[in-house]
Structure formats: structure tokens, C-alpha cells
Amino acid sequence: MAQLWFPALILFACVAINFSALKAAGESRPDHPLVERRSPESRKHFAAATLVYAVALGVLLVKVNAWPWSASLALLGMLFTLVGWHGSKK
């Protein structure tokens, strides 16, 4: 468990960043590095990314030797974040 503090910290930061992007994507004048304009589609993708990252963090902290599952979920969360970021740029 001592070796999991850094990946857990990274996943927690990803949850926080995507949650703040989710809130910013719904504002009329967003002030977030991942969001340029208001976009309902981006909100859906940022919500999915937040949920996937939170599940990855939970899997990492609860299950023993489940880091491959957690890493796979983190990559899926990264994909959702990328799609949400791209959607807010259009």
C-alpha cells in the first residue's frame, strides 16, 4: 500500500481537475484551462471522466494488486477528458 500513494495522488488530482472542468463547462464565461466555451456535450464527457477516474481511484485503494484495472480505467478517463476538451474548443 505504501507504493500506491503517488498513483492515488495523480488519480485524485484528475478527479478534481475534471470536476472543476465539469462545473466550468456549464458557465456562460468559463475560466478553466480545459474549457474555452460553454458546451453541454463537454459537460457529459467531463462527468464521465470524473466518474471513471473516481472508480479507478477506488479500485486502486480497495483491491490488492488491481493496478492494471486502475491503469486501464485511468486511460479511459484520459480519453473522456480529451474528447471533452476537444468539444469545448469547437
User: Which pTM was predicted?
Assistant: 0.89
Torsion sign (Cα): 84, 18, 46, 20 = negative
Q: Give dist(CA 34, CA 48) in Å, integer.
A: 15
Could you read off the pLDDT of 35-62 as tens digits, one per residue? 988 888 999 999 999 999 999 999 998 8
Q: What is the mean pLDDT of residues 54-72?
A: 89
Q: Give dist(CA 50, CA 80) in Å, integer.
A: 9
Could you read off the pLDDT of 4-42 as tens digits, one per residue? 888 899 999 999 999 999 999 888 888 888 898 888 899
